[in-house]
Amino acid sequence: MGYQTISVDGSIGPVGAEVSGVDLSQPFSEAVLSEIHSAWLEHHVLFFRDQNLTPTQQAGFAANFGELDVYPFMKALDSHSNVIPIIKEADSSMNFGGAWHTDTSYLDLPPKATLLYAVEVPDEGGDTLFADATAAYAELSDGMKQTLEGLDGIYSPKMVHGASGDYAQVAARENLGEAYGGNTEFTEQEVEHPLIRTHVETGKKSIYCSKPHTHRIDGWTREESIPLFSYLMNYLTQDRFVTRFKWRNGSLAMWDNRCVFHNALNDYAGKRRHMHRVIVQGEKPV
Ligand code: SIN
């Protein structure tokens, strides 16, 4: 697709595009906003370099795409209730977002967009991986598509925050809410969403279930469900669907949780990583 007001470089990997020619701290015209939105729908995740954003400016940019949401498990900045600081200190091993997932799919209304801004990142390490769940769905066999179409998942935050998450990467995130000063009241809640999600704006289908957040398939036992989740996650995260984003201070990534998975790498022991995270309200997955 051709863009008139922004530059969009989609050659950076299988999913995502780097956008230049915009200063996100400033208000911009409807034409620019409309092209950013179109590029986001086309590429699923947009990367902006060399920005200089206060929390209010980051939230202001995010608000162009919908109502801002509040992440229930972590404490926001005192100065801005929609901006969550994600800080991994040099001596900490706790890695927020360190498993393949889409954000908070265990909520009834998961956020459609997440905007993550790099305040201070290590010179090396701490990259984030993004996987294209639409392209992955498209390449499934007709038989697998038909099987998945009829299935709903039971999604639950207890997979992340409670005792039943039995994967190594999930265990590493247990008590995350407490550790970050948020609440833990939602831990037993379960919601039902399809395993295959149709994007309300593009009409495209994507794999949606994720190993850290989907407890089981509706009507199946968890034991029966896990092999299918494992297959889908291994399939979806093959190199041909994945872009690796190397952060620099001032980078901002804006991803579409309806069609892209992500995974924060934990390979920078001894270094500090400080991000600001904002989410935009989404709709019930269909
Ligand atoms: C997240 O999962 O929202 C955080 C990802 C990251 O810190 O790279």
Taking residues 129-158, what's their average pLDDT? 94
From 128, 180, 243, 272, give the residue whose CB has the most ligand 1 atoms within 8 Å, as the site to mutate: 128
Q: Which residue has the higher pLDDT, 190 or 257?
A: 257
Q: Of all atoms in ligand 1, which is nearest to the CA of residue 277?
A: 3
Q: How far is the CA of 94 from the centre of ligand 1 (A)?
A: 12
* 10 CA distance to ligand 1 middle (Å): 21
Nearest-atom number in ligand 1 for the CA of 114 is 3
Q: For residues 28 and 138, what is the distance between their CA atoms, to the nearest angstrom?
A: 35
Q: What pLDDT does 134 receive? A: 98
Q: Once rounded to an integer, what is the mean pLDDT over residues 139-167?
A: 77
What CA–CA distance (Å, rounded) separates 267 from 286?
Answer: 36
Best probe residue, ligand 1, of 83, 84, 105, 116 (max atoms within 8 Å of C-beta): 116
Kindly report the protein residue whose alpha carbon is nearest to atom 6 of ligand 1.
264
25 and 53 Cβ atoms separated by less than 8 Å = yes
Residue pair 76/55 in contact by the 8 Å Cβ criterion: no
Residue nearest to atom 8 of ligand 1 (CA): 264
Nearest residue CA, atom 1 of ligand 1? 97
Indicate whether 169 pLDDT > 60: no
Residue 172: its pLDDT value, please?
39
Alpha carbon distances (Å) from 263 to 42, 57, 99, 103, 269: 21, 25, 5, 10, 17
Q: Report d(CA 84, CA 2) in Å as an integer.
A: 34
Nearest protein CA to atom 4 of ligand 1, as residue: 97
Beta strands in the chain (DSSP E): 7-9, 17-20, 45-48, 84-88, 113-120, 128-132, 152-155, 191-194, 196-198, 205-207, 214-217, 242-245, 252-256, 260-264, 273-280
- Nearest protein CA to atom 7 of ligand 1, as residue: 264
Structure-block tokens of residue 165: 């998450």
Residue 56 parent element (H or E): helix 55-62
| Token pair in block for residue 190 | 């379960």
81-137 pLDDT, tens digit each: 999 999 999 988 778 888 899 998 888 999 999 999 999 999 999 999 999 999 999
What is the average pLDDT score of the chain?
A: 89
Q: Which of 158-162, 223-227, 240-244, 275-279 has the lowest mean pLDDT?
A: 158-162
What does the pLDDT read at residue 45? 98
116 closest CA partner among 107, 106, 133, 128 = 128
What's residue 167's pLDDT?
Answer: 35
Distance CA 64, CA 114 (A): 13
